[in-house]
Structure formats: structure tokens, C-alpha cells
Chains A and B, each alone.
Chain A
Amino acid sequence: MIYLQILANGLALGGLYACIAVGFSLVWGVLNVINLLHGSMIVLGSYIALFAYTTFGIHPFLTVPIAGGIVFALTYALQRGIINRVIAAPVLMTLTLTFGLDLIFNNAMLTAFKADYRKLILENPLGSWSFSGVTLPVDRIAAMALAMLLTLMLFRLLKDSRIGRAIVAVRMDRDAAALMGVDVMKINAITFGIGGFMAGAAGCLLSIIFPISPLNSTVYLGKSFVVCVLGGLGSVPGAIVGGLALGIIESFGAFFLGPEHAVTLAFSLLIVFLIVRPTGLLGKKGYE
């Protein structure tokens, strides 16, 4: 029964990992930009949730669209104003740029919010469900469900909307997309903004589970990398599979090897995958 409990914990964690990584993966796949700002944007989402709760008493789940919207606006503007200027440059250039921007943002957050770990403690937690020996904290399950819902909404957006088709077209061939009349620079900014939205939203959901500090940004960024490599780059199903896989592996790893080794295990897996199957579990050329 303990294994079922570990599996359940892993799945709950994995749903959140998928949500953390899907925006990062989309930006990487479509723009060919490795967005090192992603972790800080997640942390920003967490702080927005924290302040909304402590100041106005708004439940973090209700803050999701607000935090997502704020981070969307911020990342859209960054892409439009700054990153688009070097978007055609080699990937090292955009990597360095987002690295620099991340230093600025992360240190700004350290100055504004301090490095202390803070905890968002819900006054009325939803308790837990217990059946056949497996205990599920309802708040966690709800956060995971919301994360999966957001991820699926992104999937539908890419599949069915006009803007989604344009994003997918740019991902496959930006020159050909331009010849179809797609405004590639605008799509770049929207995609980057969507990545930001998902980061901000994920940050909100994580705020009820993990302590909040700017120092967490590198942890989230690292997990995003691992999920992308596990699942395959630039596709929503890839992020879901990669996220769930990482969640399950980490929670079994924590059980058998001790929680202090969970991250080590994740990154060892990253290396193994890069050697054995660099396209990821669902990776194929193109998209979905």
C-alpha cells in the first residue's frame, strides 16, 4: 500500500512539474530560446499568490489568472522590447541575454522580498481524503488538477485556435510561416508571454505546497530542463509525460534513497536520457 501512496504523491507532484515545464518547453521549441528567466517567473507567481492571500485574503487558486496575467504582460513586453532584437542570433546569444535578465529579476526579488523562505499557510485547508490506506491532501490534489487543466487548455489553444496554429507553424518553419502572412515577431512575443503565463500560474499553485523564496528559481528551472529532456521538447504531451515521470521517479527515489537524493536522481536521469534518448519519451520531429 505504501507504494500506492508513493505513486499518488508522485503523480500529484508530476502534474505540477508538467505545468512548470510546459511554458519553458514551448518557448524553447517555438522560439529556440532557452529561457533562463523561467524559474524567476514561477517564483514571482508564488509571491503574487502570497501577497494576494496575506493582504486581500484571496485564495491562491483564484489568484492563478491574475498572476498568470501579470507575468504574461511582463514576459510579453520583455520579448517585444528586448529579446526579439536578437531572436535570429545563435542560441548562445539569447541564452546569455535571458541569463542576464534573470540576474536582474532575481536580485530585484531578493531586494524586494528578501531571501527568507516564507510559507503560505491556508487558514482553512481542505483536509485530506483517505481510502484503502492512501491519504491524499485535497489542496495538493486540487492544485495538481488545476495545473493539468491549465496544461490541457494550452494544448487546445495550440490545436484549435488561429493563434495556436500560427505558433505551431512558426515552430515548424518560421520563414514559411512568414510567407503565410504570420507576423513572426508578434507570435514570438505571444509565445513568450504564454510561457510566462504558465510560469506565473504554476507559481501560484506551488505556493500552497512549497516554501517561497527567490532562491527556489534555480530549482524550478532545473526541473523544467529535466522534464523537457524526459518528455521531449516543445510539445504539450511531452511536458505532461515528462512531468509525471519526474514526479513519480522523485517520489520513489526519495523513498528508497532518502529525500536528499531526489534531485540527484533527477539530474542523473537527465544525463542518461541525453545519452540514450535525446529526443525524449515522446520526442519526434515537428510537434505534438
Chain B
Amino acid sequence: MSGVALTVAAVEAGYGDVQVLWGVDLDVGPGEIVCVIGSNGAGKTTLLRTISGVVRARAGRIAFGETDLTAATPADVLGAGIAHVPEGRRLFAAMSVEDNLKMGAFLRRDQAGIREDLERVYQYFPKLHERRRQDAGTLSGGEQQMCAVGRGIMSAPRLLMIDELSLGLAPQIVEQLSEILLRIRGDGLSILVVEQDVNAALELADRGFVVDRGRITLHGDTETLQTDPQVREAYLGMA
């Protein structure tokens, strides 16, 4: 449905003198769910921040379909159809849930479309509708993540990038969120999810990339990764 693929080719990026990414290649096809797994500090968050234009790529190329996003600003990336749900949700704590969702549509001018998408988000997450007048800071962790994902959807993206979906959440909540993400994908979005919880990520995704110290060390479909001895030992704690 979306028909646009994200391509990340040989990307290098970092902060000041510290280089974090060393030639990362990654792609997300239309309608795919792709996960990036790896330990803390491997460069997963930096990768998403580089794609969304918060961190500037020093080398390599990032493209979404025909649109080159290598030197794009966050607003350009969002306009091209990529939304970034940041690590730790980063909601606007003293704004209501509904105002948070509307902030997601900040760049859009199509009022009718915004209302439609707001309804859509409330259908995915009825809890958010219940709490729409409440300050986002008063939500539980799971509800905050729902609000953050909903805020991402409000920009009408074709690709949704989620940093640490499961962080600090109970397993049942993660499962609920995963189910809704599958529905969202069914409605035509591709999803790129970054996870420390390797099990949850491999359950959800079609394909996975393993990052270690700023490099992709392994990639493949999730069944292959689940049985890969290296992955089992390093990330799943199984021999």
C-alpha cells in the first residue's frame, strides 16, 4: 500500500568527537516490520536519530523511496513520511493526551484528515480516548507508550520508527502493543522498531538487524535469527 522503501547505505554518524555508527546498511520494505536489536550503547538510538535528521550523517546515504534524506532536517524527514517515536516516549507532560496527539500533526494542514486520524488513533487505543483530557504526564507507562505511538501516527507517516517499544513495560502490555502494531501495519504502514528486548522484537518483526558497536553484524528474517547460535547465546541467553 505504501510502496516506499527506506534505504540506509554505509551511514556514519556520531556526536562531537565520538563516532557511533560505522557504515550501517539497513533497509525497510513497504509494509514490513523490521527490528534492530543489540545491547545498550550499540548505536540503535543513534541510528534512528540519524534517519530522522536529529543527528547529521557524516557519510553514506539515507533515502526514502526516491527522496534523499541524507542531509534532511527532522521536519523534512517527517514531511517525507517517516515518524520517529523517541526513546522514553518524550511526551509533552503538561499537555493533555489529545493535545499531544495533535502536536504529532503539527506539520499537517488538512484539518479533515487530522480529525480522521485522531479517530483512528482512538480506535487503536481506546484507553487514550478515555483519557484524552488528562495531562499526558499522569498516564501509566503503557498508556504513555500508546500516546507516543499515536502521536507518531498523527503525522500520517508511511514508516513509523519506534525506539524501545518495551522499555519499562510489563510483558502483557508489550504483547498488547505488538498486536496493535500488527494492525497498524495491516493498515499500510511499515514499522522499524529498535529493541533491547530481543525476544519481543523477534516475535513482532519480519526481519531483523543485529547491531554491535555501531556496525550491523547480522541480518535476516526473524526465524533465521531466532535459531542463529550467535544470537541465541548473546541476546537470548540460550546456548
A168→B95 contact, CB < 8 A: yes
B91→A176 contact, CB < 8 A: yes
A177 to B94 alpha-carbon distance, docked (Å)? 14
Asked if B127 is at the interface (CB within 8 A of a chain A CB), the reply is no
A181→B94 contact, CB < 8 A: no
B52→A172 contact, CB < 8 A: no
Smallest beta-carbon distance B195→chain A, Å: 19
Contacts of B86 in A (CB 8 A): 175-176, 179
A173 to B104 alpha-carbon distance, docked (Å)? 13
B137→A286 contact, CB < 8 A: yes
In the complex, residue of chain A having the shortest beta-carbon distance to the beta carbon of B83: A179
Smallest beta-carbon distance A187→chain B, Å: 11
B106→A168 contact, CB < 8 A: no
**How many positions in chain B have a CB within 8 Å of any CB in the partner chain?**
25
A177 to B52 alpha-carbon distance, docked (Å)? 13
Contacts of B99 in A (CB 8 A): 165
A284 to B106 alpha-carbon distance, docked (Å)? 25
Interface-facing stretch out of B29-37, B74-82, B229-237? B74-82
Most chain A CB within 10 A, of B54, B91, B106, B155, is at B106
B94→A180 contact, CB < 8 A: no
CB-CB contacts of B95-121 with A at 8 A, as 1s and 0s? 100010011101100000000000000
Contacts of B73 in A (CB 8 A): 183
A181→B54 contact, CB < 8 A: no
Given known A175-B86, A286-B137, contact A180–B95 (CB-CB < 8 A): no
CB-CB contacts of A152-175 with B at 8 A, as 1s and 0s? 000000000010011011001101
Contacts of B84 in A (CB 8 A): 179
Contacts of B74 in A (CB 8 A): 178-179, 181
B92→A173 contact, CB < 8 A: yes
Smallest beta-carbon distance B119→chain A, Å: 20
Smallest beta-carbon distance B55→chain A, Å: 11
Interface residues in B140-174 (C-beta closer than 8 Å to A): 151, 155
Q: Give the residue of B79, B92, B107 whose beta carbon is less than 8 angstroms from that of A169.
A: B92
Interface residues in B45-91 (C-beta closer than 8 Å to A): 52, 54, 73-75, 78-79, 84, 86, 90-91
A285 to B136 alpha-carbon distance, docked (Å)? 13
B93→A285 contact, CB < 8 A: yes
Given known A165-B106, A166-B106, A169-B103, contact A183–B94 (CB-CB < 8 A): no
A286→B93 contact, CB < 8 A: yes
CB-CB contacts of A251-288 with B at 8 A, as 1s and 0s? 00000000000000000000000000000000011111
A176→B90 contact, CB < 8 A: yes
Given known A182-B106, A183-B75, contact A287–B94 (CB-CB < 8 A): yes
Contacts of B78 in A (CB 8 A): 179-181
A284→B54 contact, CB < 8 A: no
A166 to B155 alpha-carbon distance, docked (Å)? 15
In the complex, residue of chain A having the shortest beta-carbon distance to the beta carbon of B84: A179
B54→A172 contact, CB < 8 A: no
Smallest beta-carbon distance B219→chain A, Å: 26
A177 to B93 alpha-carbon distance, docked (Å)? 12
Q: Give the residue of B54, B102, B103, B107 whose beta carbon is less than 8 angstroms from that of A175.
A: B54
Q: Give the residue of B92, B106, B107 whose beta carbon is less than 8 angstroms from that of A172.
A: B92
Q: Give the residue of B90, B102, B135, B155 whose beta carbon is less than 8 angstroms from that of A181.
A: B155
In the complex, residue of chain B having the shortest beta-carbon distance to the beta carbon of A170: B92
A182 to B53 alpha-carbon distance, docked (Å)? 13
20 residue pairs A–B, Cβ–Cβ below 8 Å: A165-B106, A168-B92, A172-B94, A173-B90, A173-B92, A176-B86, A177-B103, A178-B54, A180-B104, A180-B106, A180-B151, A182-B106, A183-B75, A285-B93, A285-B94, A285-B137, A286-B92, A286-B93, A286-B94, A288-B94
B residues adjacent to A (C-beta < 8 A): 52, 54, 73-75, 78-79, 84, 86, 90-95, 99, 102-104, 106-107, 135, 137, 151, 155
A residues adjacent to B (C-beta < 8 A): 162, 165-166, 168-169, 172-173, 175-183, 284-288
